[in-house]
Amino acid sequence: MIRPLIAGNWKMNAGGAEGRALAEAVGAGAAEAASHCDLLVCPPAVILAAVADALAGSPVAVGGQDCHEAASGAHTGDLAAAMLAEAGASFVIVGHSERRADHAESDALVRAKAAAAHGAGLIAIICIGETEAQRDAGETLAVLSGQIAGSIPDGANAANTVIAYEPVWAIGTGRTPTADEVAEAHAHIRERIKGGIARSEEARLLYGGSVNPKNAGELLAVANVNGALVGGASLEAASFLEIARQAPS
Ligand code: 13P
């Protein structure tokens, strides 16, 4: 049994006092969920250190939402993985579809960012997923294969790498794939990460895209789903913790 990971991606929300209060509320309510799953919040970088302070001593880990592929240098506005680690992060999301779309991030760049994360001792959450047009064209599994082949760096293993399957059309839309479609995608991912991720059978595969307290139980029960990457529903402590409560134990 792989211990589930329930991760909240706050995206560009809750960057100030609201985020600190959210972190405190998640930390205060985490004990029950943390008995059977790992918990993670990924706040905006400007409050990552404050959130890490607020959650010190709690079972909730903290992660960044992105990092640069270089260790340091002239990259105005970017953050090195080691800076996130120093601020209190133990995870970082890379290759989220919003970064792939907004910043034209390629698989090769995502791979370099994941390698940088590993170099800084962070666990990389590598995001993959098809667009609606790709699903409609019957290309979903081929798209996932390509992203897996291109985005996983050398040295990836079940301890330092998590894969998040996030269908682009399910993000923020209230729409989700059926349980059968999630099962098909996750079985395919489990198969395709053999060779790319050492001890791939133990690697955590998250589902993300419109996870909420109503659908979490069904989605988290799907074979090869080892947790969730939650956007909108992670912005309220109660709904985030309710999702975590439904993770299989
Ligand atoms: P929503 O849960 O808001 O659909 O976002 C999912 C996501 O993109 C998490 O990274």
Q: Map 141-178 to HEC letters.
A: HHHHHHHHHHHCCCCCECCCEEEEECCHHHCCCCCCCC
User: Which residue in 69, 105, 166, 242 is the catalytic one?
Assistant: 166
- C-alpha pair distances (Å), 33 with each of 6, 58, 79, 158: 9, 12, 31, 22
Is 32 an annotated catalytic residue? no
132 is catalytic: no
pLDDT value at residue 87: 98
Q: Show pLDDT as tens, one digit a residue, over the chain (249 residues).
A: 899 999 999 999 999 999 999 999 999 999 999 999 999 999 999 999 999 999 999 999 999 999 999 999 999 999 999 999 999 999 999 999 999 999 999 999 999 999 999 999 999 999 999 999 999 999 999 999 999 999 999 999 999 999 999 999 999 999 999 999 999 999 999 999 999 999 999 999 999 999 999 999 999 999 999 999 999 999 999 999 999 999 998
Ligand 1 touching residue 230 (CB < 6 A): yes
Task: Report d(CA 229, CA 231) in Å as an integer.
Answer: 7
Distance 73 CA to ligand 1 centre (A): 31
Structure-token pair, residue 20: 């600190």
Can you give the pLDDT at residue 75?
98
What does the pLDDT read at residue 35?
92
Give the CATH architecture of domain 5-245: Alpha-Beta Barrel (3.20)
Residue 10 backbone dihedrals phi, psi, to 5 degrees: -75, -10
Residue 249: per-residue pLDDT: 84
- Could you state, in order of their start, the residue ranges of all structural domains in the chain? 5-245
Side-chain half-sphere CA neighbours of 185 within 13 A? 30
